[in-house]
Structure 1
Amino acid sequence: MTRTVIVGGSHAAIAAAAALRRHAPEMEIAIVSDEATLPYQRPPLSKEYMSGTMALERLWLRPREWYEERRIRLHLGAAATAIDRAGKRLALGNGDVLGYDALLLATGARARRLPAAMGGELPNVRVMRTLADAQWLMREMTAGRRLVVIGGGYVGLEAAAEAAKKGLDVTVVEAAERILKRVACAETADALRTLHAAHGVRILENTRPQRFVERQGHACAVRLDDGRELPLDLAVVGIGIEPDVALAEAAGLEVADGIVVDAHCRTSDPAIFAAGDCALFPFQGAPTRLESVQNAQDQAAAAAANIAGTPTAYTPHPWFWSDQYDVKLQIAGYHRGYDSVVTRAGKREGSVSFFYFRQGRLIAVDSLNDGATYAMARKLLEAQATVTRAELDDPAFDLRERAKALSHPRPAAE
C-alpha cells in the first residue's frame, strides 16, 4: 500500500496515522475531517475542558507541526461525501477527489438527538459530542439557571456534575428504571446516584420526556409522560450515540450496528478498513462495538499494521473512565453478560470497587476512587488470571499479592 486516506478526526484517525508512519516511512498519508479544527480529544469535553481545568490547546491530539513533520496531509472542514470503490477514489464536499490504495474509515459516532416533533432541534436543547457543543454549554452554564439532562448515562451524568459545580439547578430524566442501566451494575448506579444527590442534583428514573414546551422559539420546559412539566433554561440530551455509517453504507459496505469488520479490521471491501466507535468487530464470540479511547487507539493501530502488510489480529483489553465531582470511576474489562457482582471496599476512605462475574469468572471491575484496585484488577483481567467470588468476599484476601504473582511466578517444583 502506498497511499492511505483516513476519514475521521479523532483518536482512531490520529492513532492510525502515527502507526502507519512508523510502519511505512514513505507512505502517502492523508486525514479527512469535516470539522475545521485540528483533531481533538472528545472525552475531556464533558470533563476537564468543561470544568475549566483543561485549556483549549491541550485538547488537540497533536499540534499542527506534528502532522507537518510526519508528512501527514490534513483536509480539515472537508466532509467525505462518496467512495468510488472501483476507482479507489474518495470524493470530498469541497470538490476534491483523493485516490487511495487503502482507505481507513474512522468516522466515529454521532450523538442521538430527540426528534424535531419533541422539540429536539430547539436552539437551547443540545447534545454533548463536539467542541462546539462544549463551548456553547460553557457559555450557557451560569449559576442559578435551570438545566434538564435527558439521559442518565455517563455523558449525561458528567454534564450534570459540571453544571451542579457551577451552581445550576440540575434535574436528570432517565427513561429506564435506573441510571447507567446499559453500561454498569446497579451497585455502581447506586453509588453515583447518592453522589449526585449529595450535590443537589435530582434524578428522575423510569420517567420519559414527552416533548419540550416551546416559548418564543426556545424550550422553556420539558413535559414528562406523567403530565408534569419541568421548567428549564437549557437542556442537554445524552441518550447515547450511533455509529456514523452513512459513507460506508452508501458505498455498499456491510453495515449493521456499525461498519462490519473482521479481526484484522478489514471491511467487506479488502481495500477498506474501519476502526474506532464506528467499527463492529468480533469480540468474545459476538459482534461488538466499543465506545472508548482504548478501543479507538488500539484498534486503529491494528488496522494500520494490517494496511502496512503486517497481519495483526485485534484482541482488546477494554478500559474506560468517568470523572464526576471528586470521584474518578475507572472501569477495566467488559461486563457484557455478567450474572453477579461482588462489592469490595478500597484502602482509602470512601473508595470501593465492584467486581463483575459471569459463570464464576471475573470479567470486569468498576473502581470508584480506588485506583490501586483498578490497576491490580486490570492486570489480572488482561492475564486472564483466576479470582473467585469467595476470595473477593474475604476481607483478608490480598488482591495485590495475586497481581504481583503474575510478575513473579513461583518456580516449578523440582
Structure 2
Amino acid sequence: MPGHAHVVGTVPDGVTLHLGDRIVVTRGHLTRAATGEELSGPIILATGAIPRTVPSLADAHVLRTADDASRLRETLGGGGRGVDVVGAGVLGMEATGSLTDAGHRVRVHDVAPEIMSRMLPDGAAAWLRGVHERRGVDFALGAEPQLDGDAVTVAAIGIRPDTELAEQLGLEVADGVVVDELGRTSRTGIYAAGDCAALRVGDCLHRDEDLASARASGIRGATGVLVDAGETEAPDAHAPAPARRWSVQAGLRVTTVGEVVGTGTEPGAGAEHIVVVSEAEEFESVVVRDGLVIGAVAVAKRPNPRGIAAAVGHPWDR
C-alpha cells in the first residue's frame, strides 16, 4: 500500500516473492518462461536500469549490484591499489569516496569539466571536488580518459533503463517506459516504476536516477493500480514538492532541493548561485531567480545542517 513502511530487506505482508522466475513475452503477453503461465491482473514493470558500457571499457568493473561490489572488492584485495574511476557523476564520486576510505589511490576521469554536473551547480561541485582532492584523489576532467594500464578500472558512466520487456510488449518507450502521473503505460493494466520509467509532464519526459525519485515513482505506480481498481480515489492534482536528491561521499551528505542545475545560473542568465556557507566540511548555497529561491544545496556531516532547504519557494532577503 502506498505510504506503508516496512523494514528494508524484509518482505511486506501480502507479498510473495518468486525468485529465479524469468519472465518473457509470448504472443504479446508476459509469461513465466519455465511454465508458460500467463501473468494476469495489473502488472507493474520495475525492471530497473543497466550500466552503460563502451567498447574501450569492456573489461572495466561496474557497480550496480551487490555481486558487482563483491567482484571489485575481490580484485582490489587490500588497500594501496591504483584505481581509475571513469565517470564523475554521483555513482563515480560515491565509489571514489569508498575506495579512498579503503586506502586505494584514485584518479577520476570525465569528459565534463567538473564533477557531479547533473546534480550540482559549478560552485558547489568545485567545493566538493576540493574535499576529495584533500583526501588524495586526482582528477583528469574535460578530456577523454587516459588510463593507467596497471590500475583497476571502474566504469561509472551512467545507466540506461531496461526497457526490453516493454518494447516487446509494444509499449511507448522514450528514454524509459513512458508513464503518466499514476504510473500508467500506453497499455491498459500495465504500469511502470523506478529507473525504467519516464514520467510524462506536459510535453516533457522526466527520468531522474536517484533513490527519492525511484520511491516516488513506486508510490505513483501503486496508487495507479488502486485507483484503476476502484479501491481508492485519485489524488488531487497539486504542484509537486521540490525535487530532493542526496548522495553520501567522503564522509559528507550532499543534499539538493529544487532546481539547482540547468537553471541558467551562468553569468548574465536569469538565475544566480549564491554561496551562503563555505567551510572545510560544510557548504551551503541557494539558486535565486527573480528574488525567489528555486533551489538549495547543503553539504555537511549531517543532513541540511542549517535548514537551508526550507528557503526553497520563499523570497531571498539575506
Aligned-residue offset at 1:284: 8.0
Aligned partner of residue 149 in structure 1, secondary structure: strand
The residue type paired with residue 270 of structure 1 is T
| Letter of the 2:18 counterpart | H
Amino acid at match of 1:137: L
Q: 2:285 matched to which residue of 1?
A: 354
Mapped partners of 1:84, 1:377: distance in 2: 54
Aligned to 1:61: 8
- 1:259 aligned to which of 159, 177, 185: 177
User: Which letter does structure 2 place at the counterpart of 1:353?
Assistant: E
Give the secondary-structure state (helix, strand or coil) at the position aligned to 2:17.
strand
- 1:367 maps onto 2:318 in alignment: no
Inter-partner Cα distance in structure 1 for 2:160 and 2:292: 31
Q: Deviations over 1:342-369 (max 9, x none)?
A: 11117x8742212123454422222110
* Partners of 1:336 and 1:130 in 2: CA distance: 28
2:253 match: 328
TM-score by length of 2: 0.85
Using the TM superposition, give the Cα deviation of residue 79 of structure 1 relative to its aligned residue in structure 2, in angstroms: 3.1
Report the residue type matching 1:257 in the other structure: D
Q: Is 2:142 the partner of 1:159?
A: no
Instruction: Answer yes or no: is 1:143 the counterpart of 2:82.
Output: no
Gaps of 5+ in 2: 265-271
How far 1:336 sits from its partner (Å)? 4.7
Residue in structure 1 matched with residue 67 of structure 2 by the alignment: 132
Find the residue that maps to 2:296 and give its secondary structure: strand
Instruction: After the TM superposition, list the runs of 4 or more consecutive aligned residues in structure 1 that deviate by more than 4 angstroms.
Output: 370-375
Amino acid at match of 1:162: S
- In structure 2, distance between residues paired with 1:368 and 1:326: 10
Q: CA deviation at 1:169?
A: 1.5
Match of 2:188 in 1: 270
Matched residue SS, 2:307: helix
Number of corresponding residues: 301
2:244 pairs, out of 319, 326, 336, with 319
Letter of the structure 1 residue corresponding to residue 125 of structure 2: A
For 1:284 and 1:161, locate their aligned partners in 2 and report how far apart those are by CA, in whole Å: 38
Amino acid at match of 1:331: T
Opposite residue 367 of structure 1, the aligned amino acid is: A
Matches within 5 A, 1:155-234: 155-209=91-145, 224=146, 230-234=148-152
* Contact 1:338 1:357 (C-alpha < 8 Å) held by counterparts: no
- 1:375 offset after TM fit, Å? 7.2
The match for 1:35 is none
Q: Percent identity?
A: 27
Q: Aligned in 2, Cα 1:93/1:165: closer, same or farther, shift over 3 Å?
A: same
1:139 maps to a residue whose letter is E
Distance 1:355 1:160 in 2: 26
What code does the residue aligned with 1:357 have? V
Structure 2 CA distance, aligned partners of 1:374 and 1:356?
A: 18
Contact 2:51 2:158 survives alignment (8 Å): yes
Aligned to 1:79: 22
2:51 to 88, 111, 120: 111
Task: After superposition, give the CA deviation of every residue in 1:108-142 in whole Å (9 maximum; x if it has no partner).
Answer: 21111122xx2x332xx111111111112223332
SS of the equivalent of 1:355 reads strand
Deviation at 1:198, TM superposition (A): 0.6
User: Structure 1 254/114 Cα, relative in aligned 2: closer, same or farther at 3 Å?
Assistant: same
Task: Determine which structure has more spread, i.e. the larger CA radius of gyration.
Answer: 1
Cα pair 1:276 1:300 within 8 Å, conserved = yes
- Check the 8 A contact 2:83/2:153 in 1, yes or no: yes
> Using a 3 Å threshold, how does the CA distance of structure 1 residues 328 and 232 change in structure 2: closer, same or farther?
farther
